[in-house]
Amino acid sequence: MKEQQLLPVDFRSLQLAEPIMRAVEEVGYETPTPIQAQTIPLILQGRDVLGQAQTGTGKTAAFAMPILSNIDIDIAEPQALVLAPTRELAIQVAEAFQRYAEYLKGFHVIPIYGGQDYGIQLRMLRRGVHVVVGTPGRVMDHMRRGSLNLSSLKCLVLDEADEMLRMGFIDDVEWILDQTPKGRQVALFSATMPSVIRRIAQKYLNNPAEVTIQTKTTTVDTIRQRYWIVGGSHKIDILTRILEVEPFDGMLIFVRTKTMTLELAEKLQARGYGAAALNGDMPQNQRERTVEQLKNGALSIVIATDVAARGLDVERISHVINYDIPSDTESYVHRIGRTGRAGRAGDAILFVSPREKNMLNAIERATHSRIELMELPSTEIINNKRVAKFNQKITDTIAAEDLGFFTNLIEQYCHEHDIPAIEAAAALASMVQGETPLLLSNKPERQKSRDDREGFDRDRGSDRDRGSDRDRAPAKRRKKDETYGEEGKEKYRIEVGSTHGVKAGNILGAILNEVGLDPESVGQISINDSYSTVELPQGMPEDVFHELRKVRVCGRQLRLSKMEDQERQASSAPYGIKKPFKKPFKPAGKETAFFTGSKKKFRS
């Protein structure tokens, strides 16, 4: 049922509990956002809510504030449970609860997620908490252990439900919902409403009030979106040029792989920029420290994967750089949603190779916006900027420091060696600059002509023109078979199948949440009776391979092994019998088997 009501003009009119209202005023909130104005009264009344709103709309406060207002502080048992798709989002939501509960004496909230020691979480749960925020897998573990008792649960929130669906956690979510008290209140929030999310709402929500925040576009209007045509090893040079001339506060750079976060961070550090990586392989305390440094200004550039940056909310992020183009439009929307938040201006820059123009088209269609071709600074502009910066350092040093000792030292040196002071100054400047040239090479650069740009735009505008690459020799593709899987991926066998109660979502969730692989790294998953297969990137590092072997699903270790090795063993057996594969895993709402990475994603 959809609700139509006049929006309150301030937070006071929402009738939040006084301790919560005091915290709201202290953080400086005055006017509620549309999602807050419509949702807070409904949750206060105990209504179930089905909310559809994009990231950055104030959704967390929309459910956290009324839940806190309804908390019975004398009952130190979980009265509210919030399910979030990632560790980072769980932490962000828990921090928001803590912030709004600053004057609610005796209140306790805990984030529970994979990758953190169970002992810490068990101690906090035994101490007594009022709100639990967690990822589905770890919440299930605690419920099965008996360490998370939800008998006093009043409210359950599903945050970013479509993202939990995309990551394969939806079966876990339904299991949790089935174990919770029947009379509990449920609030489900999702940026999109695929059929599976609608089905869950119909099954588990009781006559929900529907709140839909209409937006003119899928992205925030205050974000300026630009792209540049570049690929391969040239990306780092283009990124450096942007960093030199583009004024920015905080910058988030997205890449596809965890390895690339480290490599790009090292390259930027070598070029004199304060940069750090953020990925799922890093210890949780290191990730939290990196985010905190980005928040407080100790760090200005963070290179992250999609999974690691999910739920990241840092006000000072002024720029998002898509160093690697995302594999789907939803990821792009989530990426650039890290900037331009709460009405602030932001910039999103997308690196596109000529072969990726179709994804650029898809992004423009999904966001209902035209992404403009950016103008890169010329060598002359870069060099002028560097000289001006160098000169400013000289001016600042003269103004701020007592140079008497060095003045005498240089005068004495010039007198003893009979050289002009200007030569000594030039030598000192060279010493300071070191081996890195101050100026870019003055070799002629090929400028992008108007014809170049129009040609690229013509290709962008003709989605159905499949013959644009006719002059190019067709690439040789390895035929997909039962041993190798799709191009660029290898097929692996895991020792858990349908007889053990496993579903493809369990396998995908374990790989994403426990080891931290990106969603685009995982290809097709097929379930058999006693085993399953999954496609993973070629050349997977040994440490990741060994970690995956130890991961448990449905109480069994995956014991990962290459299908190539399995086939070799089978061929040497006298009468090896192979069962045919069962139907491949198709995530809900998809029209074809599940592929990520460079594979096209089909939508319902």
pLDDT digits (tens, 9 = 90+) for 333-360: 888 988 887 667 899 999 998 778 778 8
Contacts of range 286-292, beta carbons closer than 8 Å, 24 or more positions apart: 287/88, 288/91, 291/88
pLDDT band (50, 70, 90) for residue 89: confident
Q: Is 233 exposed, middle or buried (0-12, 13-18, 19+ CB in 10 A)?
A: exposed
Q: Is position 135 within any domain? A: yes
Q: What is the pLDDT of residue 11?
A: 87
Q: Is position 396 within any domain? A: no
For residues 241 and 355, state if they share a domain: yes
**Number of alpha carbons in the 13 Å side-chain half-sphere of residue 113:** 27
pLDDT reading at 476 higher than 50: no
User: Is 236:266 a contact under the CB 8 Å cutoff?
Assistant: no
Q: Is position 397 within any domain? A: no
CA angle 42, 109, 164 (to 5 degrees): 65
Distance CA 466, CA 273 (A): 42
Greater pLDDT, 75 or 521: 75
Greater pLDDT, 566 or 434: 434
Among the three residues 161, 182, 212, which one is the final residue of a domain in this structure? Answer: 212
What is the maximum alpha-carbon separation in the chain? Answer: 94
Of 120-129, 378-387, 476-485, the least confident: 476-485
Closest CA to 142 of 172, 168, 112, 120: 112
Distance CA 265, CA 272 (A): 11
**Number of alpha carbons in the 13 Å side-chain half-sphere of residue 214:** 1
For residues 207 and 244, state if they share a domain: no
Distance CA 273, CA 389 (A): 15
For residues 585 and 485, state if they share a domain: yes
Tens of pLDDT, residue by residue over 278-314, are 998 888 889 889 999 999 999 999 999 887 887 788 8
Distance CA 204, CA 202 (A): 6
Q: Is position 208 within any domain? A: yes
Q: What is the pLDDT of residue 442?
A: 56
Greater pLDDT, 152 or 30: 152
User: Is 525:533 a contact under the CB 8 Å cutoff?
Assistant: yes
For residues 208 and 62, state if they share a domain: yes
Tens of pLDDT, residue by residue over 353-408, are 877 877 888 888 878 888 999 887 777 777 787 788 788 888 888 888 788 888 88
Distance CA 585, CA 497 (A): 13
Q: Which residue has the tokens 């961070």?
A: 265
User: Is 492:562 a contact under the CB 8 Å cutoff?
Assistant: yes
For residues 53 and 191, state if they share a domain: yes
For residues 42 and 175, state if they share a domain: yes
Q: What is the pLDDT of residue 444?
A: 39
For residues 187 and 283, state if they share a domain: no
Tokens of 369: 């916006």
For residues 240 and 126, state if they share a domain: no
pLDDT reading at 261 higher than 70: yes
Relative orientation angle of helices 170-179 and 136-145, to the nearest 10 degrees: 40
Distance CA 311, CA 333 (A): 13
Of 166-175, 250-259, 500-509, 527-536, the least confident: 500-509
Q: What is the pLDDT of residue 102?
A: 92
User: Is 323:239 a contact under the CB 8 Å cutoff?
Assistant: yes
For residues 242 and 173, state if they share a domain: no
For residues 491 and 562, state if they share a domain: yes
Torsion of CA 498, 499, 502, 504, to 10 degrees: -10
For residues 34 and 129, state if they share a domain: yes
Strand partners, 489: 537
pLDDT reading at 83 higher than 90: yes
pLDDT reading at 440 higher than 80: no
Q: What is the pLDDT of residue 511?
A: 79
Tokens of 518: 């990106």
Tokens of 117: 């020691």
Q: Is position 304 within any domain? A: yes
Q: Is 238 left (phi over 0), alpha (psi -120 to 50) or beta?
A: alpha
Q: 3-state DSSP helix/strand/coil percent for the chain, to nearest 5?
A: 45, 15, 40
For residues 205 and 228, state if they share a domain: no
Cβ neighbours, 10 Å, residue 313: 20
Q: Is position 398 within any domain? A: no
Instruction: Compute CA 305 distance to the chain's CA centroid, rounded to the nearest angstrom.
Output: 6
Q: Is 489 left (phi over 0), alpha (psi -120 to 50) or beta?
A: beta
Parent domain of 423: 405-432
Q: Which residue has the tokens 């060598």?
A: 379
Q: Is position 444 within any domain? A: no
Q: Is 160 left (phi over 0), alpha (psi -120 to 50) or beta?
A: left
Instruction: Give the helix/strand (H/E) hosting 233.
Output: none
Greater pLDDT, 538 or 490: 490
Distance CA 328, CA 603 (A): 10
Backbone angles phi, psi at 79, to 5 degrees: -105, -15
pLDDT band (50, 70, 90) for residue 595: very low
Q: What is the pLDDT of residue 220?
A: 56
How many domains does the structure of the chain reveal?
Answer: 4
Instruction: Compute CA 264 distance to the chain's CA centroid, rounded to the nearest angstrom.
Output: 17
pLDDT band (50, 70, 90) for residue 188: very high
Tokens of 438: 């101050």
Mapped onto helix, strand or coil, the DSSP state of residue 338 is coil
Backbone angles phi, psi at 65, to 5 degrees: -60, -50
Greater pLDDT, 564 or 234: 234
Among the three residues 188, 212, 236, which one is the final residue of a domain in this structure? Answer: 212
User: In this structure, what CATH number is given to the domain that contains residue 368?
Assistant: 3.40.50.300
First to last CA, the chain: 24
Greater pLDDT, 465 or 535: 535
Tens of pLDDT, residue by residue over 26-77, are 877 778 888 899 999 999 999 999 999 866 677 899 999 999 999 999 999 9
Q: What is the pLDDT of residue 77?
A: 95
| Sequence-ordered list of residues with C-beta below 8 angstroms from that of 352, at least 6 positions apart, any chain | 227, 228, 229, 230, 325, 359, 360
Q: Is position 380 within any domain? A: no
Closest CA to 213 of 1, 31, 362, 3: 3
Strand partners, 302: 252, 276
Percent pLDDT > 90 in the chain is 35
pLDDT reading at 489 higher than 90: no
Q: What is the pLDDT of residue 9?
A: 63
For the chain, the average pLDDT equals 80
pLDDT band (50, 70, 90) for residue 518: low
User: In this structure, what CATH number is given to the domain that contains residue 493?
Assistant: 3.30.70.330
pLDDT reading at 179 higher than 80: yes
Q: Stretch 418-424: mean pLDDT, rounded? A: 89
